[in-house]
Structure 1
Amino acid sequence: MRLKRWIFTAITLIATVGLFFSATSITEAATVNQGSQEQYLSETDPLSSEYGVENGSAEINGEQYSQSVAMRADKSSVPFGDAEYNLGRKWHSFDATIGLRDDSPRDAALKFEVFADGEKLHEERMMVGESSEIALKVSGKLRLTLKVSYDASEDIDAYCYGVWGNARLSNP
């Protein structure tokens, strides 16, 4: 009889300790998830895009950005590139380094624009060899639209790419 009681006590103790450690792991995981969150746009598909986007690595002004979104623009066939993303009203900020991809023609220039729910949040003209860091608030917004437009003053027929380097959404 003592042996059965001892086995029962041992099994109960093991189960209780296992339950405690499982609960501790769940609590720790919940704490980590409550911290800051981020999502790179290159890891998601846009809801819409007139001419498509290229996700992946791109070089802007001599710096490599591994999580980039690039859009093509040129004088004749693709005057702008755009992409719309779902924010779902759950993100606090959008940040990226913008500029033309380094393999663009020497005198190329693009206009970069960012819209949230149709409201213009940022506009900037960039030339090859320039870059700019942007950090914009998007709290409570449903849609984010990125747009690049051909804006070269020279008569350039070759196409170029506007890049949103390491473009990401984040929460504090």
Structure 2
Amino acid sequence: MNRFGGNMVLAALLSVVLVVAGCSGGDGDGTKVDKRDDSATMPSVIDMDEDEAREAILEVAPNVQIKVETRQDSGDEGRVLDQEPSVGDDIGSKVTLTVAVGSLPVPDVVGESIGDATKALEDAGFEVEENPVSDPSVQDGTVVGQTPAAGAMNEATVVLDVARADAVQSLAELEPVEVDGGGVDAVDVVINTEPYPQALELSRGPYESNPMMVSYNLGRKYQTFEALVGVSDEAPADTLISIQLKAEDGRILISETDIKLGQPVEIKVDVSGVLRLTLIGTTTHSEGSVFLGNPYLSNAR
């Protein structure tokens, strides 16, 4: 073979190699290119059943991971209630579907921490509300009660009574929003030989007439008001006092009259849902006072 013939054969072989390389789908350095479409967008699957939703998603993104969460719903079981990503967003590598399930029994979470209890209930599809209560016998943040009780069916929300150190509030430390007929002060007083370093005094000034009135905003945050109502041991022996508690709508929550020296009265009042609490006191002496020893608001039932 002459030189010209040899060059022709070499050129032909080189052409074959180039054609084969071009058909291999490489990117020029021998690396295989993945032809999968990474630009898929999320379809709308709300109100589909779970199987239909999966099929619709996998049709546009065959390799996507699908995670299913459940939530109680009164509609059809298995119906898709929510989706992530939203419609039209890039589908990415994972899709989360929230699917309706039928009614589940409320689990028993009393004794658990608020964190663990909330997770258990939310994972089961329940909404959770916290009600702080006073219970010094357990650790702060412990669930001490629940409504509805464990085992209840057809419930969407569970209210947890949670022990909180700050669930007790001294009325003597709150700022009144209204005072009439005299004054109000936080004082140290002795009632029936017992000292009360955090007492509340409703006093009538020399130019004021009965009754003495003071109001506090409770913000519907408390359930119980407790106090010992009495006459100071330093008051005249014939002193008589009375106390009345009213809610903002005019409801009389409690009324005690003719409280005498050495005969204090313990009161415990349900103030659930009360927005503003008004205390009205009277005394038989022109400059006398009504004393409330340890006047505490709490969330204890």
Q: Does residue 166 of the first structure (1) align with residue 299 of the second (2)?
A: no
TM-score normalised by the chain length of structure 1: 0.73
- C-alpha offsets along residues 114-172 of structure 1, whole Å, 9 cap, x if unaligned? 1122211111121122111111101011011111112x3xxx55x22111110010012
Task: Give me the whole-angstrom Cα distance separating, in 2, the residues matched to 1:129 and 1:49.
Answer: 27
Task: Give me the whole-angstrom Cα distance separating, in 2, the residues matched to 1:58 and 1:65.
Answer: 5
* Residues 183 and 205 in structure 2, CA contact (< 8 A), matched pair in contact too: no
- Give the direction of change, closer, same or farther, for the CA distance of 1:32–1:55 in structure 2 (3 Å limit): farther
CA RMSD of aligned residues (A): 2.5
Q: Does residue 104 of the first structure (1) align with residue 235 of the second (2)?
A: yes
| 1:47 corresponds to | 177
Task: Give me the whole-angstrom Cα distance separating, in 2, the residues matched to 1:113 and 1:74.
Answer: 19
Task: Give me the whole-angstrom Cα distance separating, in 2, the residues matched to 1:109 and 1:140.
Answer: 31
- Give the direction of change, closer, same or farther, for the CA distance of 1:90–1:108 in structure 2 (3 Å limit): same
Higher share in strand:
1
| 1:147 corresponds to | 280
- C-alpha offsets along residues 10-48 of structure 1, whole Å, 9 cap, x if unaligned? xxxxxxxxxxxxxxxxx6x97269314100011111111
Task: Give me the whole-angstrom Cα distance separating, in 2, the residues matched to 1:76 and 1:129.
Answer: 28
Task: Give me the whole-angstrom Cα distance separating, in 1, the residues matched to 2:232 and 2:141.
Answer: 39
How many residues are paired up?
142
116, 119, 126: which one pairs with 2:251?
119
* Higher relative contact order, chain-length normalized (CA < 8 Å, sep 6+): 1
Structure 1's consecutive aligned runs of 4 or more residues displaced over 4 angstroms after TM superposition are none
TM-score normalised by the chain length of structure 2: 0.43
Long gaps (5+) in structure 2: 1-114, 116-138, 144-161
Amino acid of the structure 2 residue aligned with 1:111: S
SS at match of 2:268: strand
SS at match of 1:42: helix
- Give the direction of change, closer, same or farther, for the CA distance of 1:142–1:66 in structure 2 (3 Å limit): same
Long gaps (5+) in structure 1: 1-26
Higher share in helix:
1
